[in-house]
Amino acid sequence: MFDRPTEFDHATLLDVLARADVARLTALAETLLPQLQDVEVLHSRTGLVMLPMRDTVKGTDFHLGEVLVAEAHLRAKGCEGYGMVVGRNLEQAMAMAVVDAVASLGQSPEIQAFLAAESAEITARDTARLCEVEATRVDMETF
Amino acid sequence: MAYVATRGGARAIDQSERLYRAELGQIDATRVTTLRQSLPNLIDRVMGEASLYEPDLAALALAQTGGDLYEAVLLLRAWRTTQPRLAIAAPVLQEDLITHRRISAAFKDIPGGQILGPTLDYAHRLLATDVLQGRPYTPTPVEPAATPAPAHQPSLAAWQKAQGLVADPLREDVAPDAIPDLTREPLLFPAKRAHTLQSLARADTGGMLALGYAAMRGYGNAHPTVNELRLAEAEVRVTHPSGTVFSAGRVKVSQAEVTSKGKSGQLNLGFCATLGWNEVKVISGATLDLNAAAAPKGSPVEEEFFLYHTEPVEASGFCIHFKLPHYVTFQSALDALRGAKTAEVPA
């Protein structure tokens, strides 16, 4: 079930990076950083993302509340990188931006292997939780 | 009401704050982490009422206030104003929620089935006093099913609309940046539905329960049955500068629909959702939403009544301001009382 094309589309790449293990993501970013030249950091900050939701009764979109995020945006010679993660870990967002920038120049085998491994781990984590959730499925009988 | 500036007491004020904080002791990262890990439901409640999702900051606010919920919510609401708004995420849709718990008290056989998820609904409420005797309480692990539950569950309301059981009003598409926003504009009545639902999402849990319970006991127009209750995670979908939409991570959300028989031969539904997992809040809020349509002026289920009186920072702030010096107001009342007594005494 973990078979994937070697090339990850941009949305999947970003989804996986945002949920990847922080220590491993940071380590990967450090190894990739020398490939970027003249890095200019446009943003490295925390801020708010407003989260709307759709009411299931009348279909009205409303604001549920704000989520604190960490954002990083960088520009290097010939590319840009962007990271945004729920929480306040600026280092995690910057690491995501570095990998995004390098990947925009071409997804190396190293990046693809990282994405495949992290994606598999995220899927395994979600599956394990949903197996626990499934154990609570109930079939009520009425008398 | 008359107010007056007071002077003096600076030393006493300083010492009183020290006395308050001394009782809480040193606050360090370990305490914050312990609070976050051990009190997830309280953290969720504070985040929902503060309208700011960040568990570490909520735990810090609780640590700093010794668990005074109103002070904790105030701290978070105040801190929130220091942060820029970077984006508005894509709207969360019910069918996209990663669902951990989903039940209906109205319909036994709902599409997708009933999943109890994490709950104490059917548990004995027994205090584990052995813990105080040095015997730790270790929870029995879950026995996972062989196959996972579907991550996404169908919408019961959508099925009811398709069956003609509930009204299916035409919805108007609104761009995310055009959704009415209480953090940028005042709450006016009759309230826009987006304002009502945002206000309920950040309302005080206890206040909503009190007013919702009043409706449930008969001070409303409709008795609620839980149509659908969900505890879930929602993806925070944001846009990359290139235009790619992606998830920056997940947040916990809860939502409830409650139902009652309407006069038009259909079921009426009320709705409420909030950040974090907080079932009492969303069931109470949905009950208030269900009752609001035909509520008489001044009743606890009238929209203006329940929205104004469940705003936690305004309500608690107004309550505690009565502790502050009101000497001029009171002196004036006292003078009037003495004047009346003097007038009563025959010369």
Collapsing DSSP states into helix, strand and coil, what is residue B225? strand
What Rg value do the Cα atoms of chain A yield, rounded?
19
Confidence tier at B221 by pLDDT (50, 70, 90): confident
Please indicate, yes or no, if residue A123 is contained in any of the structural domains.
Answer: yes
Distance, CA of B166 to CA of B163 (rounded, Å) = 8
Cβ contact, residue pair B171, A126, below 8 Å:
no
The 10s digit of each residue's pLDDT in B265-287 is: 899 999 999 999 999 999 999 99
Please indicate, yes or no, if residue A103 is contained in any of the structural domains.
Answer: yes
The 10s digit of each residue's pLDDT in B158-201 is: 999 998 999 998 888 999 999 999 999 999 999 999 999 999 99
Closest CA to B94 of B69, B112, B119: B112
Cβ contact, residue pair A62, B197, below 8 Å:
yes
Confidence tier at B205 by pLDDT (50, 70, 90): very high
Task: Give the predicted TM-score (pTM) of the model.
Answer: 0.93
Residues B311, B207 within the same domain: yes
The CA distance from B249 to the nearest CA of chain A, in Å, is 5
Residues B43, B105 within the same domain: no
Kind plus residue range of the DSSP H or E element containing A131 = helix A109-134
Please indicate, yes or no, if residue B342 is contained in any of the structural domains.
Answer: no
Please indicate, yes or no, if residue B88 is contained in any of the structural domains.
Answer: no
Q: What is the DSSP letter of B96?
A: G
Are the CB atoms for B245 and B239 separated by under 8 Å? yes
Cβ contact, residue pair B158, A73, below 8 Å:
no
Domain coverage including residue B297: 94-118+149-316
Q: Domain total for chain B?
A: 2
The answer, yes or no, to whether residue B65 has pLDDT greater than 50, is yes
Q: Is B84 on the interface with A (CB under 8 A)?
A: yes
The 10s digit of each residue's pLDDT in B39-61 is: 999 999 999 999 999 999 999 99
Residues B65, B157 within the same domain: no
The answer, yes or no, to whether residue A4 has pLDDT greater than 70, is no
Here the tokens at position A105 are 């120049």
Residues B224, B280 within the same domain: yes
Cβ-based neighbours of B234, under 8 Å, separated by 6 or more: A51, A53, B92, B96, B97, B98, B250, B251, B252, B253
Give me the pLDDT at residue B3, please: 59
Are the CB atoms for A63 and B198 separated by under 8 Å? yes
CB pairs below 8 Å between A and B: how many? 242
Please state, for a pLDDT cut of 70, what percent of chain B lies above it: 97
The 10s digit of each residue's pLDDT in B92-129 is: 999 999 999 999 999 888 999 999 999 999 999 999 99
Please indicate, yes or no, if residue B130 is contained in any of the structural domains.
Answer: no
Please indicate, yes or no, if residue A11 is contained in any of the structural domains.
Answer: no
Residues B107, B55 within the same domain: no
- Please give the mean pLDDT across all residues of chain A: 94
- Please give the mean pLDDT across all residues of chain B: 93
- Give the ipTM: 0.94
Residues B175, B75 within the same domain: no
Are the CB atoms for B287 and B270 separated by under 8 Å? yes
CA pseudo-torsion sign B65, B71, B77, B82: negative
Residues 83-142 of A with CB under 8 A from B: 84-88, 100, 126-140, 142
Give me the pLDDT at residue B2, please: 53
Give me the pLDDT at residue A1, please: 43
Cβ-based neighbours of A15, under 8 Å, separated by 6 or more: B246, B247
Closest CA to B85 of A83, A66, A92: A66
Residues B64, B14 within the same domain: yes
Domain coverage including residue A37: 30-128
